[in-house]
Amino acid sequence: MTDNHHPPLRSFGRLKSRPIKPRQAALMETRLPGLRVPPGPVDPAALMPGARETWLEIGFGGGEHMAAQAARAPDVLIIGAEPFLNGVASAVRHIDEQGLENVRLHDGDVRELIARLPDASLARVFILFPDPWPKTRQQKRRLVQPELVAELARVLKPGGRLRFASDVASYVDQALERFIAHPAFAWTAGRADDWRVPPADHITTRYEEKRLGDCAPVFLDFLRR
């Protein structure tokens, strides 16, 4: 995905804000190395032998949703990607406190991780409340661009599912346009409640509850044809 002469624009903001709490910092030292996705081509079967399927959460924030999904589906490997160090530290704490053994982390740009995934290796992808870059001049930095959509089509297996959620109206419109423009994705909505009401398996996080956007949360579910 990356052009050596023109690397993709960074789609995320600060890498760190407040100081990381001492306990979380200690867990970053002791637990994170064993949770990291190793460098090189990614083999999900090697990360969790016997996993029923593999899911990817892009931009897991503080890790609440990821950890809850992992607890619900202990036979599923969940890979989480997040460049924000405070979020990674929070996620490691959730993983440690809940004794989760089916989560692996990539503390960096998800596009670099996706480029290392095999074709048709994922059953689900979550992109929940990504950095909105709301100003018109910033929108080129939004994560959901045609290049990413094409890569997600490559790594999702037929019948796989992708969920995008945002509370920024312009991002919802843009993401919907870009996913349905790709022949691999079918929008599953049949009525307004399908995007207005949180899906039954959705976990609401503290970040979502803050309602920082300009509209109520919208949930777009897509099927990989």
Residue 21's pLDDT is 87
Whether residue 6 is predicted with pLDDT greater than 70 in this model: the reply is no
Single pTM value for the model? 0.91
The CATH class of the 22-224 domain is alpha beta
Cβ within 8 Å of residue 96, ≥6 positions away: 27, 31
Average pLDDT score over residue span 176-195? 98
Q: Is 131 a catalytic residue?
A: yes
Contact 59, 127 (CB under 8 A): yes
Whether residue 202 is predicted with pLDDT greater than 70 in this model: the reply is yes
Cα angle value 197/94/210 (rounded, 5°): 40
Q: Give pLDDT tens digits for 41-71.
A: 999 999 999 999 999 999 999 999 999 999 9
Whether residue 2 is predicted with pLDDT greater than 50 in this model: the reply is no
Please indicate whether residue 13 or residue 8 has the higher confidence score (pLDDT): 8
Contact 111, 1 (CB under 8 A): yes
Catalytic residue among 119, 131, 201, 214: 131
Cα–Cα distance measured from residue 56 to residue 221, given in angstroms and rounded to the nearest whole number: 15
